Amino acid sequence: MSVQKVIDGLLAKGLDRTEADIQALIHSLLLEADIGLLPVHLEEQTGDGTRRRIDVAVGHCVIEVKKSLTNPVVLEEAIEQLAGYVSTRIGQYGRRYVGILTDGVEWLLFDLIDGEMVEVSRAKTETTAPDRLIGWLEAILATEEHVTPSPDEIRARLGADSPAYLMDVRELTALYEANASNPEIGLKRELWAKLLRTAFGSAFKDEVGRFVNHTLLVVTAETIAHAVLGYDVGRTGPLTARTLVTGQAFDDAGIHGVVEADFFDWVIEVPGGEAFVQTLADRIAKFDWSSVQHDVLKHLYESVIPQDERADLGEYYTPDWLADRVVAHAVTDPLHERVLDPACGSGTFLFHAIRAYLKAADDQALSSNDALTSLTSHVIGVDVHPVSVTLARVTYLLAIGMERLRGDRPEMSIPVYLGDSLQWEQRVDLFASEDVVSIATGGPDLVEVDVALSATDLVFPRSILRDAGRFDRIVTAMADAALDTSKKETRTLLRDSVVAPFKLTEDESAVLGPTLATMRALHRAQRNHIWGFYVRNLIRPIWLAEPDNRVDVLVGNPPWLRYSKMTGAMQDRYLALARPRGLLTGPLGASARDLSTLFVVRAIEMYLKAGGRFSFVMPHGTMTRKPHTGFRSGQWSPEKSTTGRLIVAFGESWDLSKAPTGFPMVSCVIHGEHLPNERANAIPMGSKVELWTGRFSNPNHSWDEVADEFEITDHEVILINSDDDTPVSPYAKMFRQGSVFIPRVLFAADEIDAGPLGVGAGRVRVGVRRSANDKKPWKHLTPDPRVVERVFLKNVHFAETVVPFRTLAPRTMVLPVTDHLLTLDEISEFPDMAKWWATAEKLWQENRSVNETGDLLSRVDYMSHTTAQASQQSAHRVVYPKAGANLYAARISDPTALVDQKLYWSAVDTLDEAYYLLGVLNSTTMRERVRPLQAVGLQGPRDIDKYVFLVPFDRYDEKNDAHRTLASIAREAETAVAEIQLPDRQALARVVVEAALKELGLQDQVNDAADAVLPVVDRPV
């Protein structure tokens, strides 16, 4: 019977069909689907001394069949029956079993968690998509052998939507929650969270689900690492679950630092954990890892971590083709240049640097032994993300290749370290004079204030850092000594275990004594297991910063963490590091910047030799936008700075605005050389760039696959510098941003029926107005309808209420504004408004993010934006949207209306001046002249902002004929648009308006008149 006939049979419900008929069809489906299944047994006895029979048994799954699952009573009884079968099988075989309940059409997957059957996933029989059901079953049963680990197969069998993943997450979550009070597990989660806050700031949330997800990812990657090297990781293989997680097999083979004790090995220390790992390993063993591609772990990560979570954290891996080209450009002598990626992620740049080194070694006829002996000191990676480090270590092995690893190979350590390359927690002048290095374990840090992991820091003399291998062994010896539970004095333990074997000096011993005492105290508190690993890795960037250890080339893709996403402590330290390096030039402060530029400066400052080169993938605005003026200067430390002078010579950047990268924003690549201090002059980043245009859409290709699809041309960009003295329009100082009415749910309201008795004169009953744009947690809040004084019901204009020459109906909001913004004392004088505001304030305080401080009134009046509007109640105001690619403007005649932060507004003296501005801002002429000055987004130029005023048009002059002509035409255009019936949706309304203006010939008239008053942009490039 064909699969299609079986599917049709399962869907053909009838009164005369029995459960035995459905069982037979399921048996046929499992046999005919060609997914390499184990024997399928019908009516198999449970073997527990009862007469119970399992309807269908296959592998580690039992299937219970019913004629129909629509009856709730039948469904409940069937689940209970299925639970008995699954529990019996687990008891008999000591491994994980799952259950499926089906009537042939509906398929429900259950996992037994703490004695309760929990539904994990479900599927449906569909005549048009039989492969969907078959894939669902195979992901559960995992019986097909030699599966190719392609991105699609990884996603289908291990990804977040697969039933296997859903079962794994539920079981691993149960294991964690049952052991969450264990101090060792608590410590590991604390340190894990600390590092990720360092990487992602306030966007990172310390959640059980995320910790479980990362544990699952790392255990999966560690198991894959063994499988890639040829180990049978299945139940019949030689490796135990503990061996897989601890990496003992790698250590035995003389390959160190691939898999080691880390934050995620807690799983094998809890009851049931080893069985979980073994079941996972059985599934991994079904893949054929013999010819795996190096980016398989990147696909694994992206298939397990939800896309919206990766977007929140800014996690987007560099495409293979781009990493290939960056390495090829930066590394010109692979055999003799040491290369560091200080933010290595999953290891894409490392892969290409390793391949370049090994190719050069082969070209020079070096033996494989000699090549590998030197490789690990020539290509190094660091990342602060614990999961990324695990993935990068496996990628490092894949880059070396199985042939070399199995051949005449020396003992080696994979040089990919878990560390803070930026050195957030070290003093600014650490590398100038410090004799010791501290790993902070208590007190205020980047996590949050008052989270104490232990009483003191772990302090090490800098002198023992010079030899990395020796330092690792010293830390390991101290970690082992800390396990000593005898009554030996700490100084005796230190002398016998560390000082004597490693021939330490008295000064070094004096520093290490208190550190060992702290480690012993941690052990007594059951919080010691992780510290050796943590210290060895986290201190490696400090080792790399020693003058003798600095590298010749830096490559990579640094974190693009916006200042607004940093925690408060990170913001403080960002300012402390960025300001003396000249990165905060101009009036914009830190808010318009991100971490990438500071990261690059710190990496060059700490890790790159004088004369060394760097190439980094960066946000596109790094090349052109005003906030990055100081970075583009190439001189990052003033002469009087305690950090000394840091000077670079920038090369020609790559403009990737037309290249498919997969990033959420456009990017570029910057190149340069670290100049010796005696070189007097930096070479700033220039306007001449290479424009890369790719004629393909999917970024997941190698360079060899897409080299012919690229066109690389000379190009010139416009630099907008904070110290630019080019003339600007006088209107630049007159227009200002609207107010912050976010979250809207606290203010947005509509008048609703007040009931048969009404609410009295001067009062109105309002209900909260929801928006599709509301975000978590605000989208789930439902404040009750309330009564408020009518005077506080305000018309507010947003970007979506503005079209060319006209506004749409304003939105209504409840705001404490009259002819001024009320104070809290003044609000209290209005009983209804006071109640409304108290509720809004409470919701704000309970749901705001950790970075948002202050009360709600301060937020509404951020930068005095609302105070300025309330005091400037003019009938002649012009507004235009801040964001978006196109420029258009309208006039607001209501003097009491307010405008949102997504609009810029200005009051003007006369109605004619307002029309003059409308003519300028609604002209195609202005759009064309401002476009080269705009920031670049994925869809081209974006965000008008105040770049319009970089076109230096004059203020309105009633004596100027050209000005009056433009104002007159704009008045005519406004009158014409006012007569058009418009849809309420702004996007459609704008199309209708633009079409009407064009048809009436008014747009051409506006353009011609604007051309007469707008100067041609003549800015230095």
Same domain, 508 and 595: no
Q: What is the 3-state secondary structure (H, E, C) of 279-312?
A: HHHHHHCCECCCCCCCCHHHHHHHHHCCHHHHHH
d(CA 150, CA 570): 39
pLDDT, tens digit, 9 for 90 and up, residues 713-763: 999 998 888 777 678 899 999 999 999 998 888 898 888 877 777 778 889
Per-residue confidence (pLDDT) for residue 665, from 0 to 100: 87
Shared domain for 792 and 770, answered yes or no, is yes
What DSSP state is assigned to residue 708? G
How much is the pLDDT for 911? Answer: 95
pLDDT tens digits along 861-879: 988 999 999 988 788 999 9
Q: Is the pLDDT of residue 179 over 90?
A: yes
Look at the chain and report how many structural domains it folds into.
Answer: 5
Question: Whose structure tokens read 């200080």?
Answer: 342
Least confident of 367-371, 699-703, 940-944: 940-944
Average pLDDT over residues 418-429: 67
CA angle at residue 411 from 410 to 412, to 5 degrees? 105
- The yes-or-no verdict on residue 35 having pLDDT over 70 is no
Question: In the prediction, which pLDDT does 835 show?
Answer: 92
Report residue 449's pLDDT band, with 50, 70 and 90 as the boundaries. very low
Which candidate, 332, 294, 384, places its Cα nearest to that of 570?
384
The helix/strand/coil state of 880 is: strand
Confidence check: pLDDT of 658 > 90: yes
pLDDT, greater one: 140 or 866: 866
Q: Which amino acid is present at 267?
A: V
With H, G, I as helix, E, B as strand and everything else as coil, classify residue 16.
Answer: coil
By the 8 A CB rule, do 936 and 620 touch? yes
Question: What is the pLDDT confidence band of residue 27, given thresholds at 50, 70 and 90?
Answer: confident
Among the ranges given (199-213, 396-410, 425-439, 932-946), the one the predictor scored with the smallest mean pLDDT: 425-439
Contact (CB, 8 A) for 378 and 338? yes
Euclidean distance between CA atoms 1005 and 1013, whole angstroms: 13
Check residue 529 and give its pLDDT: 61
Q: What pLDDT does residue 679 have?
A: 64
Residue 1019 binned pLDDT confidence (cut-offs 50, 70, 90): low
Helix axes 208-228, 296-304, angle to 10 degrees: 160
The answer on 259 and 118 residing in a single domain is: no
Domain annotation covers residue 135: yes
Sorting pLDDT into bands at 50, 70 and 90, what band is 381? Answer: very high
**Nearest C-alpha neighbor of 807 from the set 701, 908, 888:** 888
Q: What was the pLDDT predicted at 454? A: 38
Same domain, 352 and 233: yes
Residues 966-979 as b/e (b if ≥16 CB within 10 A, e otherwise) read bbbbbbbbbebbee
- Look at the block and give the residue holding tokens 């489906």: 29
Average pLDDT over every residue of 697-715: 92
Domain that holds residue 183: 171-418
Residue 291 forms part of a structural domain: yes
Give a yes or no: residue 550 inside a domain.
no
Q: Edge-to-edge strand order for the sheet containing 786-789?
A: 749-751, 763-768, 786-789
| Cβ atoms of 854 and 914 closer than 8 Å | no
Predicted confidence band at 428 (pLDDT cuts at 50, 70, 90)?
A: very low
Q: Is 645 helix (H, G, I), strand (E, B) or coil?
A: coil
Are residue 98 and residue 198 in the same domain, yes or no?
Answer: no
Do 406 and 524 sit in the same domain of this protein?
A: no
Domain boundary (544, 570, 593) is at 544
Measured distance CA(383)–CA(388) in Å, rounded: 7
| Range of lowest pLDDT (529-538, 741-750, 800-809) | 529-538
Q: How many CB atoms lie within 10 A of CB 290?
A: 11
Residues 323 and 188 in one domain: yes
pLDDT value of position 138: 79
Residue 374 has a pLDDT of 93
The β-bridge partners of 438 are 459
Query: Based on the domain organization, do 245 and 325 belong to the same domain?
Result: yes
pLDDT at 1020: 44
Q: How far is Cα 829 from Cα 816, in angstroms, rounded to an integer?
A: 11
The tens digit of pLDDT for each residue in 68-99 reads 888 888 899 999 999 999 988 888 877 778 89
Tokens 């998509």 locate to 129
Q: Positive or negative, the Cα torsion across 993, 999, 1003, 1009?
A: negative
Spatial distance between the Cα atoms of 1009 and 928, rounded to a whole number of angstroms: 15
Statement to judge: residues 899 and 759 lie in one domain: yes
How does the average pLDDT of the chain come out, rounded? 86
Inform me whether the pLDDT recorded for 444 exceeds 60.
no
What confidence score (pLDDT) does residue 426 get?
53
pLDDT in tens, 598-613: 999 999 999 999 999 9
Of 358 and 144, more confident? 358
When mean pLDDT is compared over 130-144, 404-418, 661-675, the highest value belongs to 661-675
> Residue 439 has which token pair?
């790993």
- Sort residue 945 into left (φ over 0), alpha (ψ -120 to 50) or beta: left
Q: Examine the pLDDT at 320 and tell me if it is beyond 60.
A: yes
Asked whether residue 967 is domain-assigned, the answer is: yes
Q: Quick one: average pLDDT of 268-295?
A: 85
Q: Is the pLDDT of residue 178 over 50?
A: yes
307 shares a domain with 434: no
Model confidence at 700, pLDDT cuts 50, 70, 90, reads confident
Q: Determine contact, residues 832/786, Cβ cutoff 8 Å.
A: yes
Find the CATH number of the domain harbouring 18: 3.90.1570.30
Decide which of 96 and 56 is more confident: 56
Burial classification of residue 269, based on how many CB atoms lie within 10 Å of its CB (0-12 exposed, 13-18 middle, 19 or more buried)? middle
Is residue 153, in this structure, part of any structural domain at all?
A: no
Whether 679 and 816 map to the same domain: the answer is no
User: Span 904-920, mean pLDDT?
Assistant: 95
DSSP alpha helix (H) spans, 581-666: 595-607, 629-632
Tell me which of 144, 179, 194 is where a domain ends.
Answer: 144
Task: Tell whether 155 is covered by a domain.
Answer: no
Task: Give, in order, the Cα–Cα distances in Å from 553 to each of 185, 353, 465, 603, 615.
Answer: 38, 10, 22, 11, 8
Q: Please tell me the predicted confidence (pLDDT) of residue 448.
A: 37
Is 1006 a member of any domain?
Answer: yes
Q: Is residue 206's pLDDT more than 90?
A: no
pLDDT exceeds 60 at position 129? yes
Tell me which of 34-38, 943-947, 948-952, 1004-1008 is least confident: 34-38
pLDDT of residue 1007: 95
The predicted structure's pLDDT at residue 811: 93
More confident residue, 429 or 202: 202
342 preceded by cis ω (within 30°)?
no
| H helices, E strands: number in the chain | 38, 34
Q: What is the pLDDT of residues 810-839, one digit of tens each?
A: 999 999 999 899 999 999 999 999 999 999
| Average of per-residue pLDDT across 345-363 | 95
Highest mean pLDDT among 562-571, 785-794, 999-1008: 999-1008
Note the pLDDT of residue 602.
93
What per-residue confidence (pLDDT) applies to 762?
86
Q: Clarify whether residues 685 and 620 are in a common domain.
A: yes
Q: What is the mean pLDDT of residues 134-150?
A: 78
Encoded tokens for 774:
């509301």
| Segment 499-515 mean pLDDT | 90
Determine the residue type at 677: N
Distance CA 606, CA 612 (A): 12
Q: Is 719 exposed, middle or buried (0-12, 13-18, 19+ CB in 10 A)?
A: buried
- Which of 544, 574, 602 is a domain's end point? 544
In sign, the C-alpha dihedral spanning 936, 940, 941, 942 is negative
Report the pLDDT averaged over residues 997-1016.
94
* 548 CB burial (10 A radius; 0-12, 13-18, 19+): exposed
pLDDT over 90 at 640, yes or no: no
Residue 724 forms part of a structural domain: no
